[in-house]
Homo-oligomer: A and B are copies of this chain.
Amino acid sequence: MEGKPKKILIADDEPDILEIISYNLSREGFEVYTAKDGNEAIERAKQLHPDLIILDIMMPRKTGVEVCEILRSQPMFQDTLIIFLTAMSDEASQIKGLETGADDYVNKPISPKVLVSRVHALFRRVNNNETGKTLKLGNIQIDPVKFMVSIDGQEIVLAKKEFELLYLLASRPGRVFLRNEILSQIWGNDVIVGDRTIDVHIRKVRQKLGVDCITTVKGVGYKFDI
């Protein structure tokens, strides 16, 4: 199964670097966005919820380290991967960076090939998610192979999108999925649908299941709970 393209945000004040990295990463099938300083990085991160953020350390209007700290202090960026770029092989700041919560560290001058493979390595590890297993949660069974949901043995027919939605949420019970996440996982990043579309599907699932197992976290997203 082809996953949806990952979103990557790159922040650097040097346009050349921005372009080289963008080019190489989009060629790999990533969806690349850019920012040219710290504040813009934060702003765009909040809109986009990228899967990975590549931060130059030395940037105007907030350094990469500062940006990282600010984002990491917010719950919704706990899962976001962060890679630092730095001109100096300055050991101290390298350590500082990693302790701040970065996931990797790449020295300039940047080799596009190396960067690309590090990015892949990061995603490979994170992506090792469960796939295609039958979920059993309380009295609810969700079988992605048979494309079937049953409650207490009673079968329920869901439409494709409804099923995908339920399966996504149920794959990590309790975990809150942001609307953005849901969109990019189920619809893909490039597809544009209206704001109410998710709600409508959520409603249908709730209605069909009868059981109240999807909780709304207002301003954030939805989660599966029993």
> Chain A interface (Cβ within 8 Å of chain B)?
39, 46, 70, 73-76, 78-79, 91, 94-95, 98-99, 101-105, 111, 113-114, 117-118, 120-121, 124-126, 128, 133, 144-148, 159-160, 163-164, 167-168, 171, 174-176, 185-186, 188-189, 217-220, 223
Contacts and interface: CB of A to CB of B under 8 A. Distances in A.
Contact of A174 (B146, B217, B223): B146
Contacts of A104: 104, 121
B74 A185 contact: yes
Nearest to A81: B125
A98 B118 contact: yes
A176 B75 contact: no
A189 B128 contact: no
Contacts of A160: 217-220
A99 B117 contact: yes
Given A78-B128, A98-B117, A147-B220, 20 more contacts: A73-B168, A73-B171, A74-B168, A75-B163, A76-B144, A79-B128, A79-B145, A91-B111, A95-B114, A95-B117, A98-B114, A99-B121, A102-B121, A103-B121, A104-B104, A145-B174, A145-B175, A147-B223, A159-B218, A160-B219
Nearest to A159: B218
A217 B147 contact: yes
A47 to B, nearest CB: 12
Contact of A75 (B91, B164, B175): B164
